[in-house]
Structure 1
Amino acid sequence: MVEDPADPAHQEPAFRMNAANNASSKYRLWPIFVMPVLVVIAAAAWSAFWFYAASQVDQTVDAWRAREAASGRIYDCAKRTVAGFPFRLEVRCEDATVELRSQTAEQAAAQMPPLTARLGDILVIAQIYTPRLLIAEFKAPATLSRHGQPVMVVDWRVGRSSIVGLPDTPKSADIVFDDLAIDRMVESVRTPAARAAHVELHGRTAEKSTLDKPMIETAVELSGATLSDIHPVLTQPFNAEVGAIVHGLKDFTPKPWPVRFRELQAAGGRIEIRQSRIQQGDLIAIAAGSLGLTADGHLDGELHMTATGFEKMIPALGIDKMLEQGVPQETLDKVAPGVKSKDIDNLFGALDRAIPGLGRAVRENANVGVAAGLAAIGQEATLENKKARSFPLRFVAGAVFIGPLKVAQTPPLF
């Protein structure tokens, strides 16, 4: 019997085979459609997360600005934008201004009008997974003005900072500058006030700090620095490292520094200098100790100092020149309070009358005697495999003394 190809019974096996093949093809193709869907869902979820994190960083920046404003530092910008999608967050502040109120004892006491600093842009960066860590970059220069008149210009090559812990109490804060230059503006003429190849300022909550007894650990590093307005010895380049802990703080609420220092003094707080090192050429000095504050805001206490190149401190402090030039009373008061200039001048004059030229010889060699006198202060020591001397460095109501000699005057902190 011949089979009829048109018979449905004859077609059934082939139909079932084709149906099975179609089902298998569809089964193999489903990952091709599922993967793009998953990618779209993941991208949408990541985008939502990024925008949420961006809003959180924006709030963190606002919290930081609020803390700074309460501390007398008011940040503002003409335009603020958020970018950095997809892996980080960037908040850019264009045409930034910083208003500084009551940041120094002089400014607070005299109720001076605020200083306004204008700079280019401030860029705040955060990784999307660590929105509580903010890293900021500052665009130079910054011009400080009072009553609309420029009084200071600050320039730098690199300026950045970081802060951890916002919007709660910050855990740490750091700021770094490279090639920092500070100039005073006097009738539109820039006069150098300070220079530094590298500056680092660090602050963090100390390990033993508690809510009822907060402490701040600080560190300052300067490289290739010069300061024109503090002491002539600092006009030559020097390197410095200072580490300290501030004890006796009332709390960590934001407030201007003069207010915080006043509270510190009222609580009997101290500034513990754990370590410090200054090097200027062959002169190296280290010091440690504790300083308090007087009722009028001056430093008061004692540091134990060890220094090499001790004989070079005489010309560095200008003591030899004071003697050679007749010792003006104003200058003499800085190094030997109570000694009258006329007494020394009369002595040198009497020597010249007795033996012509003797007074001049004594003046020119006076630094030898002064060096011997200073060498009698303290004890012999060794510092970094060099001969050195250890002696007390006393702060008395802001005046700085090496033995009986007053070598500097520090300003009040409030």
Structure 2
Amino acid sequence: MTDITFAPRRRPLWRLFIAPALLLIAAVAWTAFWLYAASQVDVKADAWRAHEAQSGRVYDCAKRSVAGYPFRLEVRCDGATVSLMSQTAGQAAAQTSVTAQLGEILVVAQVYDPKLLIAEFTAPATISDRGGQPLMAVNWSKARASVVGLPDVPQRASVVFDDPEVDRFNSSVQAPLARAKHIELHGRFAEASTADHPVIETVLRIERGSLQEVHPLLTEPFDAEVRITLSGLKDFSPKPWPERFREIQAAGGHAEIVQSRIQQGDLIAVAAGTLGLSAQGRLDGELQMTVTGLEKVIPALGIDKMLDEGVPQATLDRVAPGVRTQDVNNLLGALDRAIPGLGKVVKQNANVGVAAGINALGKEAVLEGKKARSFPLRFVDGTVFLGPLKVGQIPPLF
């Protein structure tokens, strides 16, 4: 029997190049897509800048570049400036503006998810007035933001700062104005929100925050968390904030303080309630507060110092409107003449008396296992009342 050997069948070589060719075509197509997306960055950025400019917020870059190939779009803005015009209440608002200058803003988007933007901001920033005079210097260790939903109306947004510091310029000297370990602000549309009646849910968290020149209670470090639901918005068409606040007031909108908590040492305060706007653009409403360590609040209001200094009328009006300074001084002097030292005793016990007065208006409560008092914090056309005491004045929003 004869053995027959067949030569192996040779496969066409071109089949070996199919996979590499397809990969090359895909790479060329993806590169073309990325280059097109990168070319649209300037178009979208300019459209967004024009939209914001109508609201009195002008953004600009000394130099803008796009990188991140192959899977990301990284837009770098060097020499960034933000000018805010007509964002405050008052007749001169249209003639005033402030400009913030910072070194760099980096915005990153994934090519496959362009509606999610993540931004990082490089410190420091300088805030100047219309004439270029520095007003404040702002610094931080890390700052970042994220927005979901662009270029349409954002559905969700967050801003986070680590170690923010704000200093004000007094001539050429910088003085501390605000400090914090960590600040974050989150906002999103509520589930019941509609296109013609949007409702916004926001959360603000502050760790180890402090403010100078605002109120004595805020100079010591505090932690805070506030949850707010804002209603009364009509749309998100471009407009300055005073105009938007005016629309909210006209629509009967309000800010519902769903939950808030502030802690400063042994002092803990929680509050909930609703705040609206008066026809003059000032806060109106009431929050129900529960406070532990109330005895620490009274000295911070300055009542003992007020009595020791002879009770200036301006100071007295701040904490006890309607009471005349002459009447208080005459009373303390008469007590000293009748029984030497009695006026001093009254001064020393003034804070105890005021605390007792607030306690009488409120009711006993327990907060986080500690004895507390519950009472209203009222806002009357911008004036803030803690029980019977006037403790602050908030400027109008439009």
TM-score normalized with structure 2 length: 0.94
Shift of 1:30: 4.2
Match of 1:70 in 2: 54
Of 96, 106, 109, 1:113 maps to 96
- 2:358 corresponds in structure 1 to 374
Q: Which moved more, 1:39-48 or 1:384-393?
A: 39-48
Q: How far is 1:31 from its partner?
A: 4.4
**Residues 342-380 of structure 1: CA deviation (Å, up to 9, x unaligned):** 111111111111111111111112212122111112111
1:304 is matched by which residue type in structure 2?
Answer: Q
Residue matched to 1:38: 22
| Aligned partners of 2:303 and 2:350 also within 8 Å | no
Which amino acid in structure 1 is aligned with residue 325 of structure 2? S
Pick from 131, 137, 145: which aligns with 2:128?
A: 145
- The 5-angstrom pairing of residues 8-407 of structure 1 reads 21=8, 24-27=9-12, 29-106=13-90, 109-146=92-129, 147-407=131-391
Partners of 1:306 and 1:196 in 2: how far apart? 24
Q: Secondary structure at the match of 1:304?
A: strand
- Shift of residue 234, structure 1, vs aligned partner: 0.5
The structure with more radius of gyration: 1
Aligned to 1:4: none
Counterpart of 1:295, as a letter, is A
Give per-residue Cα distances to partners, 1:256-302, cap 9 Å, x unaligned: 11110011111221111111111111101011111111111100111
- Give the conservation status (yes or no) of the 8 Å contact 1:136–1:161: yes
Residue aligned with 1:105, SS: coil
Which amino acid in the other structure matches residue 337 of structure 1? P
**Are the counterparts in 2 of residues 314 and 371 from structure 1 also a CA contact under 8 Å?**
yes
**One-letter code aligned to 1:232:** P
Separation in structure 1 between the aligned mates of residue 190 and residue 283 of structure 2, nearest angstrom: 22
| Structure 1 range deviating more: 66-75 or 344-353 | 66-75
The residue identity in structure 2 corresponding to 1:143 is T
Q: Is the 8 A contact 2:82 2:100 kept in 1?
A: yes
Partner of 1:411: 395
Deviations along 1:132-179, whole A, 9 cap, x unmatched? 111111111111112021111111111111111111111122111111
Unaligned runs of 5+ in 2: none
Q: Distance in 2 between matches of 1:129 and 1:66?
A: 26
Query: Which is worse superposed, 36-45 or 299-308?
Result: 36-45
Distance 1:209 1:167 in 2: 19
Higher helix proportion:
1
1-side partners of 2:87 and 2:183: how far apart? Answer: 20
> CA RMSD of the aligned region, Å?
1.8
Higher mean Cα deviation, 314-323 or 62-71? Answer: 62-71
Cα deviation code 1:89-138 (max 9, x no counterpart) = 101111111111112224x6443432121110111100111101111111
- Measured at CA, do residues 57 and 131 of structure 1 come closer, stay the same or move farther in structure 2, by a change above 3 Å? farther
- For 2:227 and 2:82, locate their aligned partners in 1 and report how far apart those are by CA, in whole Å: 28
- Report the count of equivalent residues: 394
Residue identity (%): 66
**Which shows bigger deviation, 93-102 or 247-256?**
247-256
Answer with 150-159 or 31-40: which moved more.
31-40
Residue 252 of structure 1 aligns to a residue whose secondary structure is coil
> Aligned-pair distance for 1:402?
1.4
Gaps of 5+ in 1: 1-12
> Greater CA deviation, 51-60 or 331-340?
51-60
